[in-house]
Amino acid sequence: MIDEQTDKRANSFWRELPILLGVAVLVAVLVRAFVLQTFYIPSPSMEHTLDINDKVLVNKLVYDFRSPDRGEIIVFRAPSEWRSNPKGEDFIKRVIGVGGDRVQCCDAQQRLMINGHPIDEPYIYAEDGVHDAAADQPFDITVPKGRLWMMGDHRSASGDSLEHWERTNDIQVATVPEDAVVGRAFVVFWPFGRAKWLSVPDSFASVPKPQD
């Protein structure tokens, strides 16, 4: 005697399997498009916070609800003047200044100042215990509203806002529009030996709001 109920359930599973796989693929595509995405690090510009071939997880949803904050590491679509590839590139840098901020180099201890407040940057690249300079020359800029002043942690190897400011003296070219931001990198997940959260350094917490 055939157990019709059991046979029916087995056949039902195989009929439903393509649907389940399709749903799984669709969910994965939607998550990648709108929520989370992985990126690998192709350059030394964020050493040693991020090393070449590190893989990071990026939250693509967070900035739908707020603007980027100082100290966060973000992925963004590079302005055309920054690109080596005309088809476009995604860059990853640290937010140093947001719209309205005055960013200067440097105080007596050679620290960047944001709205008159010096910031300690322990993440800046170091070789044999010697850190890169916070900037390779003095500057004093105000970030336009809706734009971001971005710098790499490996200052001497980063094509960032400071480099483009020094080249052009054009604050629009040197800054990144907020609508070019892809998302916030919040964790290194590969290689396992370098896994870590990408938190905002404490020194940014005491930066005052920009003066109107």
Distance CA 134, CA 103 (A): 12
Does residue 80 have an active-site annotation? Answer: no
Does residue 93 have an active-site annotation? Answer: yes
Query: With the C-alpha atoms ordered 104, 136, 157, 132, is the resulting torsion angle positive or negative?
Result: negative
Options 45, 158, 161, 203, the catalytic residue: 45
For 94, list phi and psi in degrees, rounded to 5: -100, 135
Distance CA 208, CA 71 (A): 14
**How many Cβ atoms sit within 10 Å of the Cβ of residue 211?**
10
Options 60, 93, 158, 161, the catalytic residue: 93
Distance CA 170, CA 142 (A): 11
Distance CA 7, CA 20 (A): 20
Judged on CB neighbours under 10 Å (0-12, 13-18, 19+), 197 is: exposed
**Which amino acids are annotated catalytic?**
45, 93
